[in-house]
Amino acid sequence: MQDHPTPSRTRKSGGTVRFDFALALAASISAAPAHAANEPAPPDTSNAIVVAEAGQTVVPPEPLSSQASSKGLIADSHLNLQWRNYTDYFQAPDTIYRHAWVQGVQANFESGYTRGPVGFGFDASLFGALKLDGGNGAGNMVHVGKDGGGSGQLAWAYPGLYDIKGRISETVVKYGLQTVTNPFLEPHDNRALPPTFLGASLVSNEFAHATLEGGSFTKVDARGHTNLSNLTTSYGGTRIDRVTYFGGSWRYAPNGELALYADQADNVWRQYYGSLSHSFGDPRSIKWSGLANVYSTHDTGAARQGKIDSNAYSLAISAQHGPHALLLGYQQVLGEQFFDYVNETNGIYLSNSLDVDYNAPHEQSLQLRYSFDGKYAGLPGFKAMLWGAYGWGANGAAGAAANASTDAPLHDLYWKHGQPVHGHHHEFGLIPSYTLQGGRFKDTKLTFIAMWHNGSYYYPDGNNMEYRLVVNVPVKVF
């Protein structure tokens, strides 16, 4: 959340755009989502052989489950390196200047599972980074110590992931420091190294065309940090002792999916999430895609962040012809509070969460996006996206009245320049990227991100511009 200081409230990470946020969202409304990182792999049926005698009908054998196909703890293990060179330049006129350049690396070891009905294994990763440039004000762009300082540190390393895991058939259970992907706890991976979360998770693909998952997490190893800390809310900064979630998705058609989830941040909120996506047609003519998302948030227990009773939703529709696609997205917050989510996450699956979130009380926003996919134009590996968004109707009067005292914990969130937050704002952005299609450095990806935001005087997000250059180089050791 708090990546750089602001005169009033803090905005989401100095530009919320994760490296591939736009491309990922475009993909999410035109194809079935990929499996989460800790989901079991689909069964291997490559060795299945069916022989039919003349005049006979032979039913192929049921494919083996992932666990039944296990080759063992060591035989199925993998070690991969992920190098990331990350450069960032951010400027808010007359207030903030930030620059950082960091080389990060992840050494990720993933074991297989022992054989038998129940398999066991473990994962371990060493994260490291070297600061090439950057100083005071760079925040979690570089290194952050336990005391909040530490930006002068030249290099740092720490265990970024460690977990033990068990598998039965198509169900995987993990405990330890790990990553998960769901509407509440997807890592906000837009730095040299990603955040990871301490807790337990379960992902099951036992049912055809459906995925069920649940988890409970208590700590985070945040971006730029080398130590565990408490979970907090992204905008309110409120401590969360534990986040527990459960839900799943159902692929009801080759190009359609329904998802339902619920979570509880102890003594802060309960959230419910639902989404529906569907597409039809062919890019050679026109492929139409639609996506609807909705969150409903309500305070619970001790209500550490005060009364919460709000809903937020987004609707997006896109049309693709060959390499060209246009998307129109509408989003609205219904309630007196900011739509908030867990810090260090992308737990806001709304279409207009871009450079900023468009999540103020009562705010409405509209986005227009153009995407180019070189796969359909003889330029495989090249993608680009250009977008513009406009938000209006924000009204934080009720939240300001509830936090009128300057000592109130949410005062700076609901007040701007001596008035309750209100007004309008807009942004523009551009993300071209290229992924090498072959050769020694195959799958290396270069991404450039440019974003410009302008907010009215009493809107919480101010004027800024940001540029990033990211180079990801994956290396498969074994």
Q: According to the CATH classification, is domain 21-42+73-476 in 2.40.160.10?
A: yes
Model confidence band, residue 150 (pLDDT cutoffs 50, 70, 90): confident
> Is the pLDDT at 105 greater than 90, yes or no?
yes
In angstroms, the CA 411 to CA 420 distance is: 9
The pLDDT > 90 percentage for the chain reads 82
Model confidence band, residue 2 (pLDDT cutoffs 50, 70, 90): very low
What average pLDDT does the structure give for the chain? 89
Model confidence band, residue 59 (pLDDT cutoffs 50, 70, 90): low
* Higher pLDDT, residue 305 or 5: 305
Contact 324, 370 (CB under 8 A): yes
How confident is the model at residue 286, as a pLDDT? Answer: 97
How confident is the model at residue 55, as a pLDDT? Answer: 56
How confident is the model at residue 147, as a pLDDT? Answer: 85
| Domain ranges for the chain | 21-42+73-476
How confident is the model at residue 17, as a pLDDT? Answer: 43
Contact 455, 8 (CB under 8 A): no
pLDDT tens sequence across 14-38: 344 443 444 344 343 433 333 333 4
How confident is the model at residue 57, as a pLDDT? Answer: 63
How far from 388 is each of 4, 28, 146, CA to CA, in Å?
24, 19, 38
How confident is the model at residue 425, as a pLDDT? Answer: 97
pLDDT tens sequence across 370-424: 999 999 999 999 999 999 999 999 999 999 999 999 999 999 999 999 999 999 9
The pLDDT > 70 percentage for the chain reads 87
* Higher pLDDT, residue 92 or 298: 298
> Is the pLDDT at 151 greater than 70, yes or no?
yes
The alpha carbon of 346 is separated from its chain's Cα centroid by a whole number of angstroms, namely: 4
How confident is the model at residue 278, as a pLDDT? Answer: 98
How confident is the model at residue 62, as a pLDDT? Answer: 72
Q: ∠ at Cα 352 (349, 355), nearest 5°?
A: 105
How confident is the model at residue 80, as a pLDDT? Answer: 97
> Is the pLDDT at 170 greater than 50, yes or no?
yes
In angstroms, the CA 323 to CA 305 distance is: 45
In angstroms, the CA 395 to CA 10 distance is: 17
How confident is the model at residue 24, as a pLDDT? Answer: 43
φ/ψ (deg, to 5) at 16: -75, -5
How far from 396 is each of 359, 393, 458, 461, CA to CA, in Å?
11, 10, 10, 13
Model confidence band, residue 56 (pLDDT cutoffs 50, 70, 90): low
- Find the mean pLDDT for residues 154-183: 97
- Find the mean pLDDT for residues 49-63: 59
> Is the pLDDT at 206 greater than 70, yes or no?
yes
